[in-house]
Amino acid sequence: MAPVRVNAVIQARLSSTRLPGKVLRPLAGRSVLSWVVRAAAHVSSVSDVIVATSSAASDDPVAEEAARSGASVVRGPLDDVLARYELAAQTHPCDAVVRLTADCPLHDPALIAQVVGVWLADPSLQYVSNVLVRRLPRGFDTELVRRDVLAEQYETATGAHREHVTSAVYSRPSVYRCAGVAAGEDDSDLRVTLDTAQDAAVIEGVVAALGDGVPRWRDVVALLRSRPDLVALNSEVVQKPLPTA
């Protein structure tokens, strides 16, 4: 029997509307994108780390930085993120794909490994994530989708589901076998994803306090609970809604 392969695919582009260029923003001597690549590379159950960016010339710096950070690179349609994931899976064959976004520099490899581990224990699951029930701070989001389901979504998904890649899967639990990983404490009020200048201030404050090593999510939470001044910086930021059907 061939070994099971799980690849991490990180979606990245420069044309963010709320904070343009955020994925290449410097953070403690490396780019935000490089932080995400490093976290994924620290997961022993992940075979390859691939950055999926667009083929637009404006994303040439993303491709260059991804390669510099040690990731493989695939490039596809700017406005069809799902097509980029399918291209990554075709180019780098695997049995499941871990979906990460390049605007979450504080990813903890242990959380990624936890999601992968649930699937490895039961490969009949078609989707696993730590966001079906959100208890972690926003910014540690990890999703895994089985390869055949990704291919099916590529053929059938329409509209906003092509941007959000997995939303047509987890929103239909009667169709797909989905499993969620949830933390014991509810820290979902905290936010360490990078979408605005306020978010950047929080993340920079966390890194200034904890250093530039690979983050551990419990350390991040403990710091934020002890620093209401940091939490207040982005407490008013509202996340863009995702499709629900």
The total of other beta-carbon atoms located within 10 Å of residue 187's CB is 19
Phi, psi for residue 75 in degrees, rounded to 5: -130, 130
Q: How many helices (H) and strands (E) does the chain have?
A: 10, 9
Q: What is the pTM of this model?
A: 0.94
User: In this structure, what token pair is assigned to residue 186?
Assistant: 């509810």
* Residue recorded with tokens 């920079």: 204
For the chain, list the domains and their CATH numbers. 6-185 (3.90.550.10)
Kindly give the confidence (pLDDT) of every residue in the chain, 245 residues in length, as a single tens digit, with 9 standing for 90 and above: 567 999 999 999 998 777 889 999 999 999 999 999 999 999 999 999 999 999 999 999 999 999 999 999 999 999 999 999 999 999 999 999 999 999 999 999 999 999 999 999 999 999 999 999 999 999 999 999 999 999 999 999 999 989 999 999 999 999 999 999 998 899 999 999 999 999 999 999 999 999 999 999 999 999 999 999 999 999 888 766 654 44
